């Protein structure tokens, strides 16, 4: 009986330690949630993949230097439901990005909103289906995922 109890206790400790690291991955401790930044820049890359989509863009700093930013969103399945798509952005698009920056001052953050060149606003925090995903030719959500 003692051996079975010890085994259950050990398994419980292992499972709890694994679940804490999974929770930490999705925490907000790295972000300065008391701040939001809004900046205009040019898209360099749009990575439509799990576990987070990444928008990379360049802005010009006040000193005239180009700063390369990387901003994450949720996973593609959640983003489709908010109106985003794999062709929402293309390199060279001028976009206005509102994000929550990281605490350490690096050019990285979590996207709240993006305003496209057409003026359409994409809300990264929206759970509602806003209709056609941006960039979708016929509104089919299946177009937002790679064909195999």
Tens digit of pLDDT for each residue in 29-71? 899 999 999 999 999 999 999 999 999 999 998 899 999 999 9
Closest C-alpha among 60, 59, 58, 57 to residue 72: 57
- The answer to whether the CB of 111 falls within 8 A of the CB of 124 is yes
Give residues with Cβ within 8 angstroms of 57, minimum separation 6: 41, 42, 43, 44, 68, 69, 71, 95, 97
Tens digit of pLDDT for each residue in 95-127? 999 999 999 999 999 999 999 989 999 999 886
Q: What is the pTM of this model?
A: 0.70
Question: Domains of the chain: which residue ranges?
Answer: 37-144
Second CATH level (architecture) for the domain 37-144: Beta Barrel (2.40)
């Amino acid at each position: 009986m003692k051996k079975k109890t010890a085994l259950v206790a050990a398994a419980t400790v292992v499972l709890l330690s694994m679940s804490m690291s999974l929770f930490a991955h999705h925490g907000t401790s790295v972000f300065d949630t008391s701040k939001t930044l809004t900046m205009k820049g040019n898209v360099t890359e749009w990575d439509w993949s799990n576990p987070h989509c990444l928008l990379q863009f360049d802005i010009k700093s006040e000193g005239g230097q180009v700063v390369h930013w990387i901003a994450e969103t949720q996973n593609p399945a959640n983003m489709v439901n908010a109106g985003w798509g794999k062709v929402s952005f293309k390199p060279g698009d001028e976009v206005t990005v509102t994000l929550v920056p990281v605490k350490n001052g690096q050019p990285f953050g979590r996207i709240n909103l993006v305003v496209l060149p057409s003026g359409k606003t994409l809300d990264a925090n929206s759970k509602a289906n806003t209709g056609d995903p941006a960039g979708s030719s016929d509104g089919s959500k299946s177009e937002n995922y790679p064909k195999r």
